[in-house]
Amino acid sequence: MPVLKINGRNVPVDAPEDMPLLWALRDVVGMTGTKFGCGIAMCGACTVLIDGNPARSCVTPLAAIAGKGITTIEGAAKTPEGAALQKAWLAGEVPQCGYCQSGQIMSACALLKANPKPSDSDIDKVMSGNVCRCGTYGRIREGIKVAARNLAGSK
Amino acid sequence: MMSTAGGKLRELESKVGLGALAVTLFGGLATVALGSVSLDAIAQVATLRAPSEFSNIGDERVRSQALFTEAGKVLLDPRCLNCHPKDRQPTQGNDMHPHMPPMHAATSGRGERGLACESCHQKTNTATNAKAIASVPGGGNPHWALPPASMSWQGKTLSEICEQLKDRKRNGNHDLEGIHHHVATDPLVAWAWNPGPGRRPALGSQKEFADLIGAWVQTGGHCPVPTKN
Cβ contacts of B126 on chain A, cutoff 8 Å: 59-61, 64
Does residue A97 have a pLDDT over 50?
A: yes
Considering the segment(s) A3-72 as one domain, its CATH architecture is Roll (3.10)
- Which chain B residues in 126-145 lie under 8 Å from chain A, judged by CB atoms? 126-130, 132-133, 136
Can you give the residue ranges of every domain in chain A?
3-72, 76-153
Reported ipTM = 0.89
Bridging pattern class, strands B126-127 and B97-98: unpaired
* Pairwise CB contact (< 8 Å): A126 & B114: yes
> Is A3-72's fold the same as A76-153's?
no
| B97 touches A at CB < 8 Å | no
Cβ contacts of A107 on chain B, cutoff 8 Å: 114-115
Chain A residues in contact with chain B using a Cβ-Cβ cutoff of 8 Å? 18, 38-44, 47, 53-56, 58-61, 64, 107, 110-115, 118, 122, 125-126, 128-131
Q: CA A25, CA A19: separation in Å to the nearest integer?
A: 10
* Pairwise CB contact (< 8 Å): A39 & B129: yes
Does residue A132 have a pLDDT over 60?
A: yes
Average pLDDT, chain B: 83
When pLDDT is averaged across residues A115-142 and rounded to a whole number, the result is 96
Q: Which residues pair with A20 in a beta bridge?
A: A61
Does residue B141 have a pLDDT over 60?
A: yes
**Other beta carbons within 10 Å of B185:** 11
Can you give the residue ranges of every domain in chain B?
5-218
Cβ contacts of A110 on chain B, cutoff 8 Å: 114-115
Q: CA A144, CA A44: separation in Å to the nearest integer?
A: 17
A76-153 belongs to which homologous superfamily? [2Fe-2S]-binding domain (1.10.150.120)
Q: State pTM to two decimals.
A: 0.83
The minimal CB distance from A54 to the residues B115, B129, B133 is found for B115
* Range with lowest mean pLDDT among A82-91, B139-148, B157-166: B139-148
Per-residue b or e along A54-93, where b marks 16 or more CB atoms closer than 10 Å to that residue's CB: bbbbbbbbbebbeeeebbbbbbbeebbbbbbbbebbeebe
When pLDDT is averaged across residues B67-71 and rounded to a whole number, the result is 98
